Amino acid sequence: MADIILSSVQLSYQYPRGAKLVFPDMHIEKGQHSLLLGESGKGKTTLLHLLSGLSKPITGEVQLMGQSLYTLQGSRLDAFRAKNLGFIFQEAHLLKNLSVLENIKLAQSLAKNAVDEQGILEILHKLQLKDKASALPNELSRGQKQRVAIARAVINRPALLLADEPTASLDDHNTSLVLQLLFDIANAYGSTLLIATHDKRIKEHFKNNYQL
């Protein structure tokens, strides 16, 4: 039987004084890179927050690596998420007073993993950022910040790698480059990729699609 990385059933979410969203069930196997496609305002980011335990639904359950996510709380949830889940947001959200190296070390510490500076430098080398290890975020271009965020997301070799609109503002050429980079890094670090986007250009790259 295939290893199920992520499973969600009967998820729904209610915004305060707002619309109720009902989401399709999802079942993603190890290595089954998947796409969550939907127009802006359909709740893609909300669903990612539910799948990662950053928000709680009004109904439904999420299992990550066989663990029911909503039964975990506080520091146990934080540590489980840091170890098993990588999140690439639309903005990099790097801590501005920490260097590139220190930002990624922090991700290892939050997962209660030993800090592996050599491993960090190796992934920075893969992402053509090794010479930026001691740089502060404000010394980086937007593209470089995005690659640092990718490095931070995969440094703990998470089972699941979530990416929120990673190609939204890119032209066709750079969309292809970023998509190939995400596939290459996910495969190299044993992570399964779930991309949420309204960008229909990348649909053909995924066999497993979910529509909002």
Angle among Cα 191, 155, 197 to the nearest 5 degrees reads 50
- Name the burial class of residue 150, with classes exposed (0-12), middle (13-18) and buried (19+) by CB atoms within 10 angstroms of its CB: buried
φ, ψ of residue 171 to 5 degrees: the values are -75, 175
| Domain count for the chain | 1
135 located within any domain: no
Does the CA dihedral 160-166-172-173 come out positive or negative? negative
12 located within any domain: yes
Tell me the pTM: 0.89
φ, ψ of residue 110 to 5 degrees: the values are -65, -30
In a structure prediction context, what are the per-residue pLDDT tens digits for the chain, which is 212 residues long? 468 999 999 999 998 888 899 999 999 999 999 999 998 888 999 999 999 999 999 999 999 999 999 999 998 998 899 889 999 887 888 999 999 999 999 999 888 889 999 999 999 998 889 999 999 999 998 888 988 999 999 999 999 999 999 887 778 888 888 899 899 989 998 999 999 999 898 998 898 999 99
CATH, residue 32: 3.40.50.300
Domain membership of residue 76 as a residue range: 4-93+143-211
131 located within any domain: no
